Each structure stands twice: as structure tokens, then as C-alpha cells.
A and B are shown apart, each in its own frame.
Chain A
Amino acid sequence: MSGMRYEAPGSVDEAVALLADANGAARVLAGGTDLLVQLRAGMISPDVVVNIKDISETHGITAEGGGFRIGASVSGAEMGENAALVAAWPGVVEGAELIGSTQVQGRATMTGNLCNASPAADGVPALIAGGATCTIAGPNGTREAPVGDIPTGPGKTSLGNGEFIVAINLPARPANASDAYLRMIPRTEMDIAIVGAGVNLVLDDDGTCTAASVVLGAVGPKTITVADAAAALVGSKVDDAALEAVKAAASAAATPIDDKRGTVAYRTKVAGVLAARAAAIAATRARS
């Protein structure tokens, strides 16, 4: 508790320098809805906290190359207010908007959700299903990496010393494409997912699925990309038979544990249920 430093650099380079200097004893502060809770609970005690919200590159949602660039400081509430983003990526936005409550929404960011590296993070499965990447600044300049490569296990990321995420990028959307995210919690808000399922898919003009991705959260140490479920969707009209196959594949792929939040049997079954429901919602959105 004693001697913790707070810094609010105004540029990417300054932030990188501060982070690199601290040699792993620094923490990035975005919305702080995970960080402050962990600080208060005594779970972490960094030497320096680096607030990135004064860095202009971390702000704004911008259309880029047919896709979107979402700054690392953008809150869930800002995403929900961006009509173009909501129209193109309703599943990504609903994942972000499930986080916490109205108050938490005003602060919490997708990037913070990703870098907190909880297997149950609600913002992450739809991002991975959507093929999102992130722009990472570090001592050696800037690099791009798929979102799915960032969390490496509960609370752990692949970010190197001095690195932080500046923005998340969603790719260009073909026609008839959409996504959806669903989660299971025992109440209606203010809880942690015991199962999450994100589905992104593309239909052709006849309504036949040409590409799909199904990603599960909270049923393993990391998100799980269910290739068999995607395969069951591709080539189908996303009909009942395909959805049954998605359900079976998702349940088969889930590797949950028994803990205070849910049992293996429950999570395995519900992973299938939510994957199939999310696929049906994504398909309905893609058709309209």
C-alpha cells in the first residue's frame, strides 16, 4: 500500500517508457473497474499505476478500412451509443454492454476486460469470434496481434514488458454477416459468467452459412474456439439440425471445472444451449 506511484502520461511513448522502467511492477489503468477492486482487496500491489486515458490514441471509435478501430480507453457505454458499430457488430457490443451495471458501463473498457484475462470475461468471446486484432505499443514499436493471443491463462497475458494495447480493431464486414453473445449468470446483472458463448457468421444470398466462428467463455482456463461447431454451421441454413450439432459440439468442447459458481455438468450442458441460441440469433440478425 505504501509508496505506490500514479502516473498519467500524455503520449504512447511516455507510457511505454514508464511501463518498461517498472520492470513488471507496473499496471495499466483504463476504466479501473478490475484494477481498483483488486488494489482494494490487496490482491495486487504494483509500484506504479499508469493511467492511459490522457493518451489521445486510446480514444474514439473510428471507421477504418471498412472495419472499426476502438481505442483502448473507450467505455462500454460509448460503444453502445455508436450506431454504426452496433449495426455491424451487435454481438461484440452486447458482450461489452453486459459488463456490470450502468455505472460500471461508463468506465469499463473492452481492452481492460481482455487484459484482465479472466476466462469469464464477457467482452472477449465475441471479439475472438469476430476475428478482432489489437494494436500493441511497446519498447520496440507497434505490433498487431489477434485478440485471442492476448490472454494466456487466468490473470495472465502475452504482453511483454513495457507493452500495452492502444486499440482493438474489428475487420471489414461482408454482406449478410452478424454476431451474437449470450452468457449465463444466476441473476440478471452484477455477476460473473458461468458460461459465455459468442458466435459470428456470414450467410450467402440464399441464407446458407459460408463462414462461422463459435467461441466459448468461462468453461476452461481460456476461451475455447469450437471448430466443430463452426463446421456444423458452414454449409447449413442454420436450421434446427445445424443448431443441434452446434449444441453437441459446444458441450463436447467445454472443459469447465466445478467451483463455487457452477458444476461441470451444468456448465457443459449450458455451453451447448447458449452456443446454439447465439448462433440462431446471429443468423436472424444476418438475414435481416
Chain B
Amino acid sequence: MNEQPKQFKWVGTRTIRPDGVDKVTGRAMYGADLTLPGMLEGKVVRSPHAHAKIISIDTSKAAAMDGVKAVVTAADMPLADPTPVASGEAMINLRDLSDNVIAREKVLYEGQTVAAVAATSADIAERAAALIEVEYEVLPHVIDVLEAMKDDAPVLHDYMFTGGIKPKPEKASNVANRVEFSLGDIEAGFAAADVVIEKNFTTEPVHQGYIEPHAVVADMGPDGKVDVFCSSQGHFMVRAFVAGLLKIDMSKIKVTAAEIGGGFGGKTTVYLEPLAVMLSRKAGRPVRMVMSRDEVFRASGPTSGAALTIKMGATKDGRITAGDATLYFQAGAWPGSPVGPAAMTAFAPYDLENVKVVGFDVVSNRQKVVAYRAPGAPISEYGVESIMDELASELGIDPLEFRAMNGAKEGTQAAYGVKFGTIGMQETIAAAQATEHYKIPLGPNQGRGVATGFWFNIGGESCAGIRINEDGSVSLTEGSPDIGGSRASMAIMAAETLGIDVNKVKPSVVDTDATGYAFVTGGSRVTFATGMAVVDASKAAIDEMRARAAMIWDVDVDGVVWEDGHAKPASTNVGDFEPMSLAELAKVANKTGGPISGHADINAKGAGPGFGTHICDVEVDPDTGFVTVLRYTAIQDVGRAIHPSYVEGQLQGGAAQGIGWALNEEYIYDADGKLENPGFLDYRVPVASDLPMIDAILVEVPNPTHPFGVRGVGEVPIIPPLAAVNNAVAAATGVRFNALPLSPPAILAGLADKE
């Protein structure tokens, strides 16, 4: 690993995680852990059909049951405006969101909510839910993306006409939207190529697989004030969606962020929260709702499955001349797949002159997709990186060298519009080439694959407050739910800026009444953007402390500097004053103007793009098709690792999830469109014994726009594994697969075809 310059006292060190003890002792409060006096338990009635019209809902038997305090249906929810609002990295239509929370006229996937009950116990609520009679008219359904695009496919929304094409189509269809990004002239590019490879690929939808199911406690008072406690990636997002759906003023809703047991993008929307508020409003009592794992699989997540066509050409000497991609993305029951970012990222790791990417957002009768780490990018880059590997082997060039030859650099124009600033793509490839791993000899039936990945990373709105307490300790407040150790990083950045011991800083993620707005914890933005707010707030507190020292010394504030946690005279000209520490200034604050604090409410710009390169070794059992991952190294430009352990954890976790995506994860539907594997037994995320130790190598090319050089790190690492595994399997078997997952039956079938 590279040497950390001795530039910082806390940044780059492995401090103890502020939330660690609570989590290992079980003291931490997750979404389901709050119990309030008089609290009811809520349960949901879900559609048994993939596609059906709701003829009638009879709740009378349930409502009459002893212990039942409230029953709600869509009739209890105001009709939402179909106005798009931001949800994670995508825009969402409130009307669609409302239908996903509780179906109004039609059910569009098996598991969609049609009613909810609150009762004095979970058992009563469950039995009451079973008494709710829903009459359906079952409609033909469609699950697969290519099937859904066919002319004779059942149409989900008769009002939906494909956007992005002119003239507007005459017929409603399941294709919600068409997007296109291009650069140069691909015809000319392919004409200049010596080798052209074109392939079709498919990937399956995959769930984010967070361990904590969705859970909420909501309490609405008779005056209309609402308290919500839930596990989410953004309590301000929950506030906005509950307010928007139920037409309540935001100021009346207070959302407290529970500790979160994983989200990975999947908790950037609401499912239960509005229902719990509706039930609480009706019952006049607090209501808790917790999904079962079965419900999590049937009704939340996943990210899109897709069908792709990728075409690339290169000259004999290894220069890529053109890239062309067509992407068909499953959106689930309503529009909003991540096909846009997939199209933008597809060829972004490379410096190409001629690129064209066309994407289609397609609805079908399955769960509405929601963000999952680097939404869309793993899918499109899987296709591109698989072709990259094939091109390299056709041309007889080492696959890392081939990527270096064509890799993006500072100044590269990306097809999606930007010209890259300081980026670390080349540095990650060089680091990969330098690993021991890349040189280890392989045995029979073993293969090595590499792949790179690119993700934008985002900034956005964040607020932070620094309060200097009377005893010189510091309370840090912010509003970004901590999903990967961000409180540790916030404390480090505050301590570094203030020049005090990190243990003097207590970071807290506070409720929506106690801090300013923060956009969701997503887009790899928190350490970058909220971190920037923390630094700014710390600087504001420093300015205040300089002013206080200036007042005490009776000098001009410009004559006071802040160094190493102390106010000091800027020079001997200012005067000969003993430096005053933060604690000393805190102690006399009441005599110098009162409490000292610093705040920052920002919209952070200039997130640094992230690049990663992964190396994967596999062994394939030629008789069973079983793939063993032997070795795995994830290398990434992280800008600067504020807390290296949690950055390494991001790389390892992303790689693990990407490996699961590549090898085994898939949704299995029966002929009626019902999910057959709604549990971790048959929806196979990797278990610990499936994975080798994943080596994480941090490359640091600081992001010039962040005070400490931070780039987002959470999303890039899930991008390369799909192709790295695919390329390794190709090397081990001599067969190029073009469909995920690479499950044992799929591998064996592919090997049989080769013979």
C-alpha cells in the first residue's frame, strides 16, 4: 500500500468507530427496535396476482375483529400529483410512488400492497389481513424485458407513450423512454477498425440484499403532527415523500433516522412509512410495521435486469475506434430504470472518439426497481468490459495494457458530456499491473479476468453543525444516515480541521427538526458532500473562536490565526499573547458573546469521478460447472481515504455483491408471474465461505475540489466484478458466456455447447 504523507493528524488513521460499541452490544436502535406506549402492529395485504384489476375491496370483516384498530386502502390516500420529484439519483413520479405504496385501480406485480391493518398484536393484524376480501379481474402479464417490448405484449399503462422519440408514438406501449448519448461518428470509427466484435448480453435483476428489512414506527397526534422513526437512506427523503403523498406540511413531520442495517440504494424510497402514518392517523395510536424477508423480496428493490447489444472496434495496434451500445432495461411496474446512468457510464472509462449509446426504459409486471450501488453502471459496463477482454485477446494484447492504452485521462472528453479533470483511471491500472496477484501462475481449469469500472459520484445538499461545548468537547450534528461508517469520517474531518483530539468530537445524525436538509445517503456523496459541510462548519466555528480571541486580546480579527487547535497571534506585530486553546475559549465563551458554534448549509459541487480495476481468479469444475473464486483484488482511486478501514470495507463489500450478481443471484418466476425464491435460501447472495479474502488496494489521487481530496468510494466497487468474473470464467473454460448469472447449470450447458 502507498505511504500516507505525514500531512494529517487524523485523516487517514483508523480511529474507533463512534457507533461500534452500540452495534456490537445490541444497544443500537434499528428500525424495528422502538416500542411506544399503546403501540399497534401493522400488516399488509398483498396482491397474489402479477397483473389484475381491483374490482372491490371488502374490509368489513377485518375491521370488525377484536383488537383491530384501523384498516386502510388507497381510498385513505389522497390522489397524488403526477409531478416528478428527486428520489435518490432518479426522478420519481409521486402518482406512481403512491400506487407502489398502495394500489388504487390495478395491481401491477405480485406482492403489491392493496390494504393494511393495524391491531393490538402482530398475530391479530395478520389474521385480520387474511379476512380482507379483494376481488380481482386477472389480466395477462409480462415479466421479461424483451417480451414486454413486443407488439402483442400486455400493456401495463394505457396512458404511457414512449418518450424521447419523435413523432410521439400512436400506440401506448411498455417502453417508457428512449435515451441517447453520442460522440463523433461510429460509422467512420468501425470502418477504421481491424477487428470488430458485437455481442448480445443479458443480466438478471438483483436485490440489494440488505439484512435489515424495512421497518418503521409512526405516530400521528390529534393535532396532525407526525413522528416517524425508520431505517432509511435519507430521513429527509422520507419526510418529503410522506408529506407529498399524504399532503401534510413538512414542518409537521419529524423523521428520526434509526440505525440502518444496510441499504445499498434500496432504502432511497418509501414503502411502509406512509402506510404506518395512515394507520396511525386512523387509529390515533403509534403503529409499527416490519416487513418479513418474503415481503422484502416480493415488494422492494431490486435493480434492473437487462438485455444489451454491445459493439466495439479496434485497430491492430490496440486503439479502440468506436463503441456502440443498445440497452434495454427493466424498470419494474413503473418507469424509472437506471438506463440513463447505464448509458452514460457504458464507455466512460475509455478515451474514445466515436461512441453511441441508446437506452430503453421498459416496464413489466415486477417490483419497481430502486437504486442499487452505481445504478445501471454494472450492467452496461459488464457488456463493454466483456468485449474489451475479447478484443484484447483477439489482438494479442495484455488486457490491462489494452485498458491502459485506451483509458481515460485528465482532459478526456466523455460521451456523456463532461471533460474529465483529475482522475485516477490510469493509476488503478498501473497498480493492478504491479500486484503480486497479477503474476501468480494459474493451474488447470483456472482463469484470470480483469475489468475496470467508472462512476460519476455526486455532491448535493448537506448541512452540518459544530457546537463547541462549555468543556471544550464538540458536538457535531448532520443529517446523512450513516450506512458505512460515515460518522467516523465526519469526526475525523472535524477534528483535523479544528486541530483537536478526535475523541473530543461526538458526531450524531439528528432528526429532521434538528438539522438542515440533506439529500439521501447515496451517490457515494456523504463523505464528500456532508464532509465538506462539516469542514465548512468547523471553519465557521474557528472564525468565531478567532473573533473571540481577538476580542479578548483587543486586536483585529485578522491578527488572529488558528493553528493546531489554538488561536494564536498572526505575528509578533499583533502582540505577545499566549495562544488560547479551543477548550480555553469555550470556558470563557459566556463572557465573550455566548455559545460558540459553526454551521454550513451547502450544495456541494465538484464530486470527483471514481475509477476502479479488479482482478479475479476462478477455477471452474468442468464436470459440475461450479465456479470457485480463488483470489480477488479490488483496486480503486479513492481520492483520499479519510478512514481507510471503511474505505476498504466499501471495496470488499462492493466486490462481494458484484460476485453474487455474477454467479448466482436471480429472481425465479412461475408461469403466473409469481416469485418462487423470495428468501435467502434460493436467492443466493454469496455466503462468507463462497468468497476468498478480497484484497483492497487504495490508490489516492486527491479530488482537488474537496478540502481533504475525498472522492466517493461506495459505488465503483460493484461495477467491475460482473465482467471480471465473466472474463475469468472465459479464461478458465475457453467459453465466452454472455448471460448472468454464471450458475453451475448455465456453465455446464455452455461447456456442453462448446463440445
Interface residues of A (CB under 8 A from B): 1-2, 184, 186-192, 260-263, 265-266, 269-270, 273-274
Contacts and interface: CB of A to CB of B under 8 A. Distances in A.
B624 interface: yes
Contact of A269 (B123, B686, B748): B748
B749 A265 contact: yes
A184 B623 CA distance: 11
28 contacts: A2-B123, A184-B626, A186-B664, A186-B684, A186-B743, A186-B744, A187-B687, A187-B690, A188-B687, A188-B689, A189-B689, A190-B681, A192-B681, A260-B676, A260-B677, A261-B682, A262-B745, A263-B745, A265-B745, A265-B749, A266-B744, A266-B748, A269-B623, A270-B623, A270-B624, A270-B744, A270-B748, A273-B624
Interface in B654-689: 663-664, 668, 676-677, 680-682, 684, 686-687, 689
A191 B684 contact: yes
Contacts of A187: 664, 684, 686-687, 689-690
Nearest to A190: B687
Nearest to B670: A260
A263 B677 CA distance: 15
A1 B123 contact: yes
A260 B669 CA distance: 9
Interface in B354-398: none
The residue among B624, B664, B743 with the most chain A CB atoms within 10 A of its own CB is B624
A80 to B, nearest CB: 17
Q: Provide the main secondary structure of the chain A interface.
A: loop
Contacts of B123: 1-2
Contacts of B749: 265-266
Contacts of A2: 123
Nearest to B748: A266
A186 B746 CA distance: 11
A273 B623 contact: yes
Contacts of B680: 190
Interface string B716-743: 0000000000000000000000000001
Nearest to A259: B676
A263 B743 CA distance: 12
A260 B668 contact: yes
A184 B624 contact: yes
A184 B687 contact: no
Nearest to A182: B624
Contacts of A188: 687, 689-690
Contacts of A192: 681
Interface of B: 123, 623-626, 663-664, 668, 676-677, 680-682, 684, 686-687, 689-690, 743-745, 748-749
Contacts of B689: 187-189
Contacts of B744: 184, 186, 266, 270
Nearest to A263: B745
Nearest to A276: B623
A273 B668 CA distance: 26
A188 B624 CA distance: 13
A1 B744 CA distance: 40
A274 B680 CA distance: 25
Nearest to B622: A273
A187 B687 CA distance: 8
A260 B687 contact: no
A233 B704 CA distance: 71
A182 to B, nearest CB: 10
Given A184-B624, A262-B745, A269-B623, 14 more contacts: A186-B626, A186-B743, A187-B689, A188-B689, A189-B689, A190-B681, A191-B684, A192-B681, A263-B745, A266-B625, A266-B744, A266-B748, A269-B748, A270-B748
Q: Can you list the 8 inter-chain pairs with the closest CB atoms, starting with the nearest?
A: A266-B745, A188-B689, A273-B623, A260-B668, A260-B676, A187-B690, A188-B690, A190-B687
B312 to A, nearest CB: 32
A220 to B, nearest CB: 18
A218 to B, nearest CB: 14
A190 B626 CA distance: 16
B271 to A, nearest CB: 22
Contacts of A1: 123
Contacts of B624: 184, 270, 273-274
A171 B14 CA distance: 58
Nearest to B747: A266
Nearest to B682: A260
A276 to B, nearest CB: 9
Contacts of B686: 187
Nearest to A273: B623
Contacts of A273: 623-624
A262 B623 CA distance: 15
A266 B689 CA distance: 24
A93 to B, nearest CB: 19
Contacts of A191: 681, 684
The residue among B123, B664, B687 with the most chain A CB atoms within 10 A of its own CB is B687
B359 to A, nearest CB: 30
Nearest to B621: A273
Nearest to B127: A1
Nearest to A266: B745
A201 to B, nearest CB: 21
B65 to A, nearest CB: 14
Given A1-B123, A266-B749, A189 B681 contact: no
B631 to A, nearest CB: 16
Contacts of B745: 262-263, 265-266
A269 B686 CA distance: 25
Nearest to B689: A188
Contacts of A189: 687, 689
A90 to B, nearest CB: 21
Nearest to A189: B689
Contacts of A269: 623, 748
B754 to A, nearest CB: 15
A265 B626 CA distance: 15
Contacts of A274: 624
Contacts of B743: 186
Contacts of A261: 682
B85 to A, nearest CB: 37
Nearest to A2: B123
B135 to A, nearest CB: 24
The residue among A186, A188, A260, A262 with the most chain B CB atoms within 10 A of its own CB is A186
Contacts of B623: 269-270, 273
Nearest to B683: A260
A227 to B, nearest CB: 23
Contacts of A190: 680-681, 687
Contacts of A262: 745
Contacts of B625: 266
B111 to A, nearest CB: 16
A192 B676 CA distance: 15
A168 to B, nearest CB: 26
Nearest to A274: B624
B26 to A, nearest CB: 17
Contacts of B690: 187-188
Contacts of A260: 668, 676-677, 682
Nearest to B669: A260
B46 to A, nearest CB: 15
B477 to A, nearest CB: 40
B752 to A, nearest CB: 8
The residue among A187, A188, A273 with the most chain B CB atoms within 10 A of its own CB is A187
A260 B676 CA distance: 7
A211 to B, nearest CB: 27
Contacts of B626: 184, 186
A260 B624 CA distance: 17
A189 B681 CA distance: 10
